[in-house]
């Protein structure tokens, strides 16, 4: 499929957790400071191991727990680290998690100055279904009209009072020249498939990503561009190889069987991510990659998994580790 330079590449993106040090930056600070060196170390590891791009400061990145200055510091710091490591144009989406049009544009302006290429803009769901489809269409259109970056629609009902972007709304927004894709972080596979296969959408200019690696094989087989997946923060090569298996054409019986085997292992491990979220991802990155610490996120997400909890997932995670080590 031809690649438009303004459109994110197909493949696996990682919603990167934000790393924090174990102590505040100053005596007056209330929470632990950003750990930009750890952030860069992890981002470079992902870039070297099959991941096609990063989502910085999305939901997993705790953007709502950071100040404006911290958000800029993190994006610009990672960009600088990637450039010094030999990845100067590595794809970065910046999360935009605010309900105000003016603030969304402020976040997008800052992201552009920090050298992100796209904004991943969360649906404004504070008021839930009171935000009807007509108003969502107008909200996204206004943001896209004025955004200095191309944007993607981010539909995550779990953090937006169960608001869902309608299929007709996707079709209309996909025609906007500054809207280049969407991320659906929900279990409605039919929506992923319908938007991915909609014949009225130009799929060279509008890409569909899932937020769940559990859906990777099925949705990529039916036209989706890939996933933005938390498990890949820990096992990037394995999840990226599953994408390659699903994207390769033609799909031979042997390839399908291999894909099914890998998808089962990935889906089983994703259960840990589903239960423990940011805390589980950070624990996995620390245990498997020796990056970060076991402090977790900022309040109210501070802390680690309970003692013995990681061991309960040994069967699933050991299988993932075996896949990870099997990829050249």
Residues 6+ apart with CB under 8 A from 69: none
77 neighbors 85 (Cβ within 8 angstroms): no
* Position 3 in a domain: no
Q: CATH number, domain at 76?
A: 3.20.20.70
* Position 159 in a domain: yes
- What is the pLDDT at residue 4? 52
* Position 79 in a domain: yes
Domain that holds residue 95: 11-326
Active site residue 183: yes
* Position 142 in a domain: yes
Q: Are strands 32-34 and 20-24 parallel, antiparallel or unpaired?
A: antiparallel
Q: What does the alpha-carbon distance between residue 246 and residue 248 come to, in Å, rounded to a whole number?
A: 6
Q: Which of 21, 183, 275, 282 is catalytic?
A: 183
- Reported as a single tens digit per residue, the pLDDT across 52-81 is 999 999 999 999 999 999 999 999 999 999
- Reported as a single tens digit per residue, the pLDDT across 221-250 is 999 999 999 999 999 999 999 999 999 999
* pTM for the full predicted model: 0.95
Closest CA to 84 of 47, 129, 121: 47
* Position 220 in a domain: yes
* Position 5 in a domain: no
- Reported as a single tens digit per residue, the pLDDT across 262-314 is 999 999 999 999 999 999 999 999 999 999 999 889 999 999 999 999 999 99
How many domains does the chain contain in total?
Answer: 1
Query: Using CA of residue 185, residue 302, residue 110, residue 9, what is the dihedral sign?
Result: negative
Q: Would you say residue 2 has pLDDT above 60?
A: no
* Position 61 in a domain: yes
* Position 19 in a domain: yes
Q: What does the alpha-carbon distance between residue 21 and residue 159 come to, in Å, rounded to a whole number?
A: 26
């Amino acid at each position: 499929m031809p690649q438009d330079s303004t459109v994110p590449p197909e493949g696996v993106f990682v919603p990167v957790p934000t790393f924090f040090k174990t102590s505040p930056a100053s005596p007056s600070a209330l929470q632990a400071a950003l750990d930009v060196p750890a952030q860069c170390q992890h981002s470079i590891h992902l870039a070297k191991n099959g991941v096609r791009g990063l989502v910085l400061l999305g939901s997993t990145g705790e953007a709502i727990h950071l100040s404006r200055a911290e958000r800029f510091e993190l994006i610009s710091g990672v960009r600088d680290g990637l450039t010094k490591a030999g990845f100067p144009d590595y794809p970065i989406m910046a999360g935009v998690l605010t309900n105000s049009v003016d603030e969304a544009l402020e976040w997008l302006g800052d992201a552009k100055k920090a050298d992100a290429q796209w904004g991943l803009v969360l649906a404004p769901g504070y008021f839930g279904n009171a935000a009807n489809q007509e108003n969502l269409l107008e909200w996204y259109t206004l943001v896209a009209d004025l955004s200095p970056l191309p944007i993607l629609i981010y539909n995550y009902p779990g953090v937006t009072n169960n608001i869902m972007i309608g299929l007709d709304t996707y079709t209309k927004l996909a025609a906007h020249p500054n809207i280049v894709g969407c991320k659906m972080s929900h279990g409605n596979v039919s929506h992923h498939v319908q938007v991915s296969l909609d014949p009225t959408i130009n799929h060279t200019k509008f890409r569909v990503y899932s937020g769940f690696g559990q859906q990777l094989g099925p949705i990529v087989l039916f036209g989706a561009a890939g996933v933005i997946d938390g498990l890949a923060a820990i096992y990037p090569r394995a999840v990226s190889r599953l994408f390659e298996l699903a994207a390769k054409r033609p799909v031979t019986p042997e390839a399908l069987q291999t894909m099914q085997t890998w998808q089962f292992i990935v889906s089983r491990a994703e259960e840990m991510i589903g239960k423990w979220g940011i805390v589980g991802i950070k624990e996995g990155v620390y245990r498997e990659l020796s990056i970060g610490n076991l402090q977790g996120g900022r309040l109210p997400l501070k802390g680690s998994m309970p003692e013995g909890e990681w061991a309960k997932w040994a069967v699933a995670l050991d299988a993932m580790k075996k896949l990870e080590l099997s990829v050249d």
